[in-house]
Amino acid sequence: MAFRKFFNSLEPLFKKGGKYEKLYPIFEMVETIFYTSNTITKAAPHARSFVDMKRIMTYVVIATTPCILWAFYNTGLQTNLALTNLNPIDLSGWRIGLLQFIGVPLNADSIFANMMHGALYFLPIYMATLVAGGLWEVLFATTRGHEVNEGFLVSSMLFALTLPATTPLWMVALGISFGVVVGKEVFGGTGKNFLNPALTGRAFLYFAYPAYMSGDSVWTPVDGISSATSLGISASEGYESLVGYGITWSDAFFGTIQGSLGETSTLACIIGLCFLLATRIANYRMIIGCLAGMIAFSSFLNWIGSDTNPMFSMPWYWHLVIGSYAFGLVFMVTEPVSGSHTNAGRYIYGALIGFMVIMIRVLNPAFPEGMMLAILFGNVFAPLIDHFVVKANIMRRRVKINA
C-alpha cells in the first residue's frame, strides 16, 4: 500500500496542469509495470475483459522464453565448439576474458559454460535494442501525449532474436530505430502500423548491410571461422549433402546448428506456439494457412523436379526446420496488427506467406532465406485480402436478400 500511495502522491505532478505533465507517458509506463492501469472508459461501448494490451504482450514475451534460453545455449555451444575444436585465429575478446576471470571454462560439454558464453552475446544486443528503440518510443509518446505502448517489449525481443550474434551494437541500434520510426511511428504508433516493426528493422539491415546479414553465411562469432548456412549448402549442393556437413534433420529441429540468435530451434518455437494457442493470443487460421501454402507449393516443386536447381528437391519437412521459417511462423505470421483480420482472410494471408517463402527460397537464387521477405509481402497485401473477403461476404448476403 505504501508503494501505491507513493505513485498516487506523484501522479498530480504529471497530470494535466502539473509541473511535469509532458512526462506523463513515462510516469504511466513505470506505474503500469507494477499496477494495472486505472484508466476507465467514459463513453459507450463498455466492454469488460481480462485481456488487455499489457497481458497480450506479456504472454508473447513468455512465449519467446524457450527461444531466448536456446539463444543463450546454442550461441555459447557453437562458439565454444569453434574455440576448442577449430583452432580459430582470434582467442581474445572481452567475453572470453570475462569468462576466464570468473572461472567459466570454454567447454562445449558444459551447459552452464554454453549458457554463460551465449548470454554475453545476446544480452548486449538486447540492451542496445531496448535503449535505442525505447528512446524513440518515449520521444514519440511524449511528443504526442499518449502512453508508451507495451508492444515495444515484443518488437524489441523479436528483433534481437532475429539477429546474428556477430551484429555490431551500432548496427543493432540503427536497425531497431528504423523499425520503430519508419515501420510503426510514422503510421501513428502501435495498432496503426501495417508492417511488422521488428521485421522492418531486420529487412533494413539486410539490404543496407548484406555482408553482416546475408542468409548464406554462418554467424559463429569467432574470427577465422566461416562456412555456409544450411540453406546456403542446400541451394548449392542439395539438402542431402547437409549430412556430410554434420547437419541432420534432428539437429535442425532441436537447433544445434549455426544461425541467428533465436531462430535455430524449431522445438523451442513449437513450445512457444503451444502457449500462444492455449492462451488464444495466436490465431490458428494463420498457422494452418502458412503451413498449407508451404507444404503444397514445396510438394509441387518436388513433383516437378529440376536438373539445375537442387532446392526443387527439398521436402517440406526440411523447409520447416531450417532457416527462420518456424520462428517467423510462430511469432511474425501470427502478429495481429499487421496481418489479416477476417477469418477467411487469415487463411489466405497465411497461405500467401507459405507460398512466397518457398518461391523466394527455391526460385530466387539471390535470397537463400525467404521468410522475412514473405511476411513483409503478406503484410502489404493483408488489407487488400480483407477488403475482398468483406466484399465477397456483402455480395453473398445481397444475393440471399434478393432471392
Q: Following DSSP, what letter does each residue of 148-217 receive, concatenated?
A: --THHHHHHHHHHHTS-TT--HHHHHHHHHHHHHTTTGGGTSTTT-SS-HHHHHHHHHHHH-HHHH-TTS
Answer yes or no: is pLDDT of 84 > 70: yes
How open is the CA angle 43-281-199, to the nearest 5 degrees?
A: 100
DSSP letters along 75-93, please? HHHHHHHHHHHS--S---S
Q: What pLDDT does residue 4 have?
A: 62
pLDDT of residue 229: 77
pLDDT of 293 reads 97
Query: Pick the residue with more confidence: 52 or 77?
Result: 77
Is 44 a residue whose pLDDT tops 50? no
Q: Is the pLDDT of residue 43 over 60?
A: no
pLDDT digits (tens, 9 = 90+) for 23-35: 566 556 555 555 5
What does the pLDDT read at residue 10?
64
Residue with the bigger pLDDT between 389 and 226: it is 389
Instruction: Tell me what the mean pLDDT of segment 73-80 comes to.
Output: 92
Confidence of residue 152 (pLDDT cuts 50, 70, 90): confident
Please tell me the number of Cα atoms within 13 Å of 254 on its side-chain side.
7
pLDDT at 65 over 90: yes
- Any idea what DSSP says for residue 23? G
Measured between alpha carbons, how far is 64 from 60 in angstroms, rounded to an integer? 6
Which of 194, 195, 187, 385 has the alpha carbon at shortest distance from 286? 385
162: nearest Cα among 113, 217, 209, 205: 205
Domain boundaries, the chain: 1-40, 61-391
Task: Place 96 in a pLDDT band, splitting at 50, 70 and 90.
Answer: confident
pTM for the complete prediction? 0.85
Q: What are the tens digits of pLDDT across the range 266-316?
A: 999 999 999 999 998 899 999 999 999 999 999 999 999 988 899 999 999
pLDDT tops 60 at residue 215: no
Of 298, 321, 398, residue with least CA distance to 329? 321
For all residues of the chain together, what is the average pLDDT?
84
Is the per-residue pLDDT at 234 higher than 60? yes
